[in-house]
Structure 1
Amino acid sequence: MATLGGRKVRLCVTLRALAAMEHHFGVTGLEALGERLKSLSAADLSVVLSALCMEDISTLDIGFQEALDAVVAAFGALR
């Protein structure tokens, strides 16, 4: 769980989320995706966060740092 825009939100790295990110970034494979994720714009971060969220977050006012922390935590939970 992450707190985004003052609301608790569940983030999950699913196959659907990974496929959506591969499609958005125009890459194939997890290695290429990992390389692309090393350099994100604010728009890219929004796409990644939306892919990982298990619910609609489009109406939330989310700060850059809290979004970045949530994405890092979601991928860190895979270890």
Structure 2
Amino acid sequence: MVNRKRGEIVANLGGKDRCLCLTLGALARLESAFAVSDLAALGERFSSGRLSARDLMVIIHAGLEGGGHTFALDDVAEMQVDGGIAGYAAIVSDLLAATFGEAGADG
């Protein structure tokens, strides 16, 4: 069972429900992958609304690692998601909302 207060979500990837979480280590890997200096810059990068397919894949991969799964980035690239690209984008949006806070949430 996932705990959204810890930033966890569940997503169906490759036909299986999986827990995703952007842990501190996962966020550090994303800072490096996106060549930004801190979490504020990472948040700005994500809030731009301009994410490539590779960006989605890298974020999902980091979330899977943070959720305790071991997959290569190429494995994530092959995972099927309902809804196609919109499905991948929805997973990333949900993961980022759980990590950075949701609009209207207290605190």
| RMSD (Å), alpha carbons | 1.7
Give the ranges of 4+ consecutive aligned residues of structure 1 lying more than 6 Å apart after TM superposition: none
Once residues 86 and 22 of structure 2 are traced to their aligned partners in structure 1, the CA distance between those partners, rounded to angstroms, is 19
Q: Distance in 1 between matches of 2:39 and 2:31?
A: 8
What amino acid maps onto 1:65 in structure 2?
A
Q: Which one has a bigger Cα radius of gyration?
A: 2
Structure 1: runs of 5 or more not aligned: none
What 5-or-longer segments of structure 2 have no aligned partner? 1-9, 102-107
Using the size of structure 1 for normalisation, the TM-score is 0.84
Correspondence 1:37-56 to 2 at 5 A: 37=46, 38=48, 39-53=50-64, 54=67, 55=69, 56=71
Between the aligned residues of both structures, percent identity stands at 38
Partner of residue 27 from structure 1, selected from 31, 36, 43: 36
| Higher relative contact order (Cα pairs below 8 Å, separated by 6+ residues) | 1
- TM-score scaled by structure 2? 0.64
Q: Size of the alignment, in residue pairs? A: 79
Partner of 1:77 in structure 2? 98
2:25 aligned partner: 16
